[in-house]
Structure 1
Amino acid sequence: MKAKTTLYDLLGLTPDATEAEIQAAHRRLIERYQSGQHGLPPVDADNRIKAIKEAVWILSEPGRRAAYDASLVHAAFAASPLAEGGTPLKVEISDVKWTPGRIMLTVIGGLMIVGMVIQIFFSLFAFKQAGRVASGEMASEAQERVMAAERRQMYGNMSEAEIAEQERRERQERADSASRYDQERQERARRDEERRREEALRERTYYADRVSSDLERAEQAARQQAERDQRQKEEAERRAEMEEQRRVQERLSRERARWQQELRN
């Protein structure tokens, strides 16, 4: 069965720790859990701080510490085999000659043992009841004292009016901090929205410029193609005209040669 964690285990100390060691462990653990370098959720860290303060409150006062140490002794005894109804020591008696005197001594010894067992039983019962009452009173008092200890540790020797004013200022500071955080968050959201709009505008402008450039290149390519087609058409017309002139010249040459031949004949 897993051993129960004690207040000494919570503070990382042994039961024979001194008052200075208890206070040093208290300061070290409080600084650790308040610094955020513990890897625990905030709620668990707060609960751990409260448990540490309650442990220090109990162990820093000799009377409360003595009562707590006594409860640890009782718990250790209750966990022992004898308290749990373990098997008692068996003594085998054999080959003993039972005389009247021996029988009388045995009866008296048995009655004494029974009386001692009854006395021990009632003592343990009374101790356990007292421990329960003390534990209940201690837990109730601890709950009341922890809050007072926290206030003393946080505010020192300030009066109630000064504490109320300090708490009011702290609430106001938290409210102002929350308001500043909300304003900063809204400002970041506004800047992010403006940046997204500027990026969208640049993207649309780039797209429009690209489309305009593509259209301009397409129009220029179309004009160049039309000019090439026109030049090719004009060139074809010139070649056709020159070919027609050549055929006319050939016909005229043939006619002239034929007329001259007829004239000679």
Structure 2
Amino acid sequence: MKKTTLYDLLRLTPDASASDIQAAHIKLVEHYRTGNHGLPPGDADNRIKAIKEAWWVLSDANRRAAYDASLAPTQPDLPPVAMAAGAPLPIEVEIKALKQRSPLRIMLTVIGGLMIVGMLIQIFFSVFAFRQVSRAASGDAVNPAMERAAAAERRQMYGNLSDQEIADQEDAARREREAFRQTEAERRAEYARREEERKHEQALAERKRYADQVSSDLQRSEEAARQKAEWDRQQREARERLAQEDEERRLQDRLARERARLRLDSGH
């Protein structure tokens, strides 16, 4: 029996282009929503979901390549059993076929399988998110299968907790996040305050060093001016003493000359 592929769901062939896939997706979804398909509403919804999943896989080049690789046959078809003498048995043909498979092909097969598993996981979560959004947007009744999937996801995340316990945990987590944000905001504010105080103290220290430097320069200038004034005074006093001594010597010389002249006059 032939396996139904995603191309079959979209009524396309494997060589369909991206535009063909997009057009088929839109046409089929519209048909099962509003067209005369003769299916019950539940079956029509399931058909739409399957079409959307097929489109999600085939609309992306990487996902489509991985899916196409999964469709490729992994073993060659075995020939019918021949009754003639000397014809190889089926088991011999299978062993020869396995021997002919290269390690590269085996590795590619394994990688393709892993990619398909990852793709299926992505499809599951994408379809689940899409259904949640669609349900919230349309306000339709919740599908029992979706309820079971949501319950399974909740059990996987929260275990067997009740709705009230889950709400309490989420509320506690929310309070913890708010407390963390509050603590972080206070820490940043305290850091900013300390940084501002540090900058203020640094500015005060800079001004104090500048004032001390100016005061020291003034003191040195005043001391230099005082020493210069003292030197000038000493030089002036020394010049005055020399001038006074010269004046006294001239006076003594004049008195001596006057005395000598008087003695000469009295001798005559």
TM-score relative to the length of structure 1: 0.48
Higher relative contact order (CA 8 A, sep 6+): 1
TM-score relative to the length of structure 2: 0.48
